[in-house]
Chains A and B, each alone.
Chain A
């Protein structure tokens, strides 16, 4: 293996570290190979969703169809997808907005009230909460929801979703609020602002990127959540998207193109949102974790 000279000419598009690591062909092969692995199922689900059933069963499943049909999408729409979609929107918005709001308040209190023993205990509890898996507490959550007479309502999904969004949100947000220079808080105080006013007029604008990140992250988790709707609801009109997909799968049986259309249709909004908020999500998420 030849020694590498530090004086090697800089390649376009490489970083300083990259120049030193030089061409890593094994990693490169894997990176592109993995891209293919990632894309094949996505490609397949999209092309299958515009095939007719006959076409799917009698032609090569990897080739795009000669004639595109949207009948599968029509079938999915006829099966109440809009209703399930709205359920998911209600659950996601209904859980994420309060979750982020109260997490933001808690994070602010934890950073500002550093000397307070109660707040320190709370912070420790939240951190421990990161390690509680939802699966492990689903039975008592079910019991609580029954006792609150909320079983088979959307609120049953919303309440635990809020609770389980709190620990990570508080962690990320408090790390961001800590980065706000102390002088700014001081000058707000000099101007006679209350803590509540400082929260909204100083901390809120300065932590907006983190708030967006936390919002997207939580929304994604709740939108895709399966266990809570599965356990806490029952009637078809309370189904959220993941639950609806599973029931479509049972209902459409061998009509694979229809199932593919349902999957594509329900995934599209997330992909679109990702395309819009991509930079925010990636940079905010990693920055939040990094602290």
Chain B
């Protein structure tokens, strides 16, 4: 769940409670600051530093300049894992967004079902990616799993054994876990649409489809951007899920960036190149977050509002 941190949350200007005598309270921020420096800021700088070294994870660390970067950038696994990462990112966005918006609009309109559905929808978010992955691994077994149980031939495939299918399994499991969350965000946004606007549209004789495309969608634009940012940036960090479900396989067909970094660093003991991958991971994340902000126009605002 750490991946859910929203990068585009607006900082409210100090209002009511502010303007105390500064200085006398500053020490209270110290413990948090120290912890955050020690295990947040320093590691972030450290990973950049380590990418210019050679280290096997146990012995001494040698500064070797660009050696690790050169080795990493030459490795054909890097573009491949980038491709896999983007593939999962784009596919899971494409699957999740329309479904979440549709369900969100529905939930916003029907109070009667909202409470009930929201309770059950939230369950996947409570489960660990590990538990979910283990469940799906067994459930997708071609001999004893879902397909045989339901008697649906189509479901009876070697889902995790084929490189084409495995990536779709990942996309599906990600959607399974997060569509409910995004639906709840969207229903909050739809409920913020001024009623007068919808009334005006109806008086003008706008049909339901027209209303949806001309009012609902533009009105939840910022929510779409926030939700997309969470999806896109979050998908860079899918690790538990891939590690347990496919471990990058079959072959290297689902070896995304985070997993490639883990394998390089903690299995092949090449901490230098692994740190280089980590730096790339951070850069890609920041770049995408910025890009999505631009798309939103008003860079510093978010309309994330919910249940």
Contact = CB atoms under 8 A, between A and B. Distances in A.
Interface of A: 1-6, 12-22, 24, 26-28, 30-31, 34-35, 37-42, 44-45, 48, 56-57, 60-63, 102-103, 105-106, 108-116, 118-119, 122-123, 125-127, 129-144, 159-160, 162-164, 166-168, 170-171, 175, 177-182, 185, 195-196, 199, 217, 220-221, 223-227, 231, 241-243, 245-246, 249, 256, 259-260, 263, 266-267, 270-271, 274, 278, 282-283, 285-287, 289-291
Interface string B117-141: 1111111101111111011111101
Contacts of A225: 2, 128
A144 B43 CA distance: 8
Given A35-B117, A41-B139, A30 B106 contact: yes
Q: For this complex, into which size category does the number of interface residues on chain B fall? A: 35 or more
A14 B190 CA distance: 14
Nearest to B126: A270
Contacts of A102: 31-32, 35
Interface in B244-294: 244, 258, 261-262, 265-266, 271, 274-275, 278-279, 281-282, 285-286, 289
Interface of B: 1-3, 5-7, 9-12, 14-29, 31-33, 35-36, 38-44, 46-47, 49-50, 57, 99, 102-113, 117-124, 126-132, 134-139, 141, 144-146, 148-150, 176, 179-180, 183-184, 188, 190-191, 193, 195, 198-199, 202-203, 205-211, 216, 233, 236-237, 239-240, 243-244, 258, 261-262, 265-266, 271, 274-275, 278-279, 281-282, 285-286, 289, 304-307
Contacts of A140: 42-44, 46-47, 49-50, 275
B31 A139 contact: no
A289 B6 contact: yes
B33 A132 contact: no
A107 B29 CA distance: 7
Secondary structure at the A interface, as helix, strand, loop or mixed, is helix
A31 B104 CA distance: 8
Contacts of A136: 44, 47, 278-279, 281-282, 285
B23 A113 contact: yes
B135 A112 contact: no
Contacts of B26: 109, 113, 116, 118-119
A115 B240 contact: no
B187 to A, nearest CB: 10
Contact of B25 (A2, A112, A282): A112
Contact of A178 (B12, B57, B129, B216): B12
Given A13-B112, A175-B12, A256 B195 contact: no
A27 B307 contact: no
B39 A242 contact: no
B118 A282 contact: yes
Contacts of B17: 111-112, 177-182, 185
Nearest to A126: B36
Contacts of B237: 133-135
A141 B43 contact: yes
Contacts of B126: 220, 267, 270-271, 274
A8 B236 CA distance: 47
Secondary structure at the B interface, as helix, strand, loop or mixed, is helix
B131 A62 contact: no
Given A109-B26, A166-B36, A139 B275 contact: yes
Given A6-B202, A125-B33, A286-B188, 12 more contacts: A40-B146, A112-B17, A113-B29, A116-B25, A130-B9, A136-B278, A139-B50, A166-B36, A178-B16, A181-B16, A225-B2, A256-B138
A139 B268 CA distance: 13
30 contacts: A2-B207, A6-B199, A17-B109, A21-B105, A21-B108, A21-B211, A30-B102, A38-B176, A60-B149, A111-B17, A113-B26, A136-B282, A138-B262, A139-B271, A160-B39, A164-B2, A166-B35, A166-B40, A178-B18, A179-B17, A180-B16, A181-B16, A195-B24, A195-B28, A196-B28, A226-B129, A249-B134, A286-B305, A286-B306, A291-B10
Contact of A44 (B127, B135, B216, B282): B135
